[in-house]
Amino acid sequence: MPAQFIRVVLLFATLGLLGLDKAQAANGPSCDGRAEIIIHNAYPDATKRDDETFQFGGSTISIKEGETVSDTPHMIKCRVWPANPHLTLVAVPLIKSSNDDGTMGDLELLVIDTATDAVKHRLLLDNRMTDDAVSISAIEFDTAPYRLAKDQIAFGLRISTANSSRPNPYDNVSLWLYVIDKGSLRPVLDGMIVSERTGEWDTNCAGEFQSKQTTLSMAANKTREFAEIMTVETKSTKTSFVEKDQSCKDTTVTSKPQILRLIYDGEHYPIPDDRRAMTE
């Protein structure tokens, strides 16, 4: 068996654990009854409008206690960090406006004390909630064990986007990685596309669909004391067509996995332009 194939299999086996952890994050409750306290601690000037919304300056903060909120991207999200369970990760969408044409808003990441809900670290991501025809469909924490160094584990934020076109469907998932370094929260991987699906069809049968999936794992090699990140990208193309008997058939072609090594430059892991998330 070729050595490269063995390495790819091992990478996928490792990332199976990462995918499982992501699924657990997506299926958890919102903030387990703590959202209102968190908002008061993080935004003492916010005013409560009703049971589910706060006003903070020109932005609206929405909460939905005790319910699964993975499919409600404008709601506050919380996740106890398994690598550091004394800390809880919080994503707070700060929505300035939202209508049929799109949304305008920022996203603030908080790292809070799990026991007291006190804010330990925060990072404001300008315009991260702004979208238009391709809208944000989900925001999830990814708490897979991204161990970058012996004493440094990153956590991930996955943002899903999609359009609403039937003949030309599109959706993707992009990943950001963050670390707490020298008392500050900062990004080290700034928006890498890890899943993307596109297509063009007649909405009945005939058409073509492309899919790309990327997994990540920590390599043994280190650069500037941080582990290099191995990525494995697989591509597949599905072609559907109408047979002479009018039945719909399809064929799928999968390409060889493409391996890419991301190397830390002292501040972050540079991403190739064709794998970089589009942000406002």
CA separation for the pair 222, 249 (Å, rounded): 48
pLDDT of residue 153: 96
Q: Are residues 122 and 15 in the same domain?
A: no
Q: How many domains does the chain have?
A: 2
pLDDT in tens, 63-117: 976 555 556 899 999 999 999 999 999 999 999 999 988 999 999 999 999 999 9
What residues of the chain score a pLDDT lower than 50? 1-27
Domain boundary among 104, 132, 160: 132
CA distance 271 to 220: 19
81 and 186 inside one domain: no
170 and 42, same domain (yes or no) = no
In this prediction, residue 280 carries a pLDDT of 56
Residues 152 and 190 in one domain: yes
Residues 60 and 11 in one domain: no
Same domain, 248 and 161: yes
Instruction: Report the length, in residues, of the chain.
Output: 280
Determine the Cα–Cα distance for residues 66 and 30; give it in Å rounded to an integer. Answer: 6
List pLDDT tens digits, range 206-220.
999 999 999 999 999
Residues 90 and 184 reside in one and the same domain: no
Q: What domain range includes position 111?
A: 29-67+70-132
**DSSP string across 97-161:** EEETTEEEEEEEEEEEETTT--EEEEEEETTTT-BSSSEEEEEEEEEEEEEEETTEEEEEEEEEE
Looking at residue 205, what is its pLDDT?
96
Residues 239 and 182 in one domain: yes
Closest of 81, 88, 32, 41 to residue 61, by C-alpha: 41
- 85 and 154 within one domain: no
Res 232: pLDDT:
97
What distance in Å separates the CA atoms of residue 269 and residue 262, rounded to the nearest whole number? 6
Out of 132, 154, 185, pick the residue that ends a domain: 132
Burial of 16 (0-12, 13-18, 19+ CB in 10 A): exposed
Cα(177)–Cα(277) distance, integer angstroms:
13
Which pLDDT belongs to residue 18? Answer: 43
Is there a single domain that holds both residue 115 and residue 249?
A: no
Question: Token digits for 160?
Answer: 């899903």
Q: Which pLDDT score is estimated for 64? A: 79
Residues 156 and 275 in one domain: yes
17 & 63 share domain: no
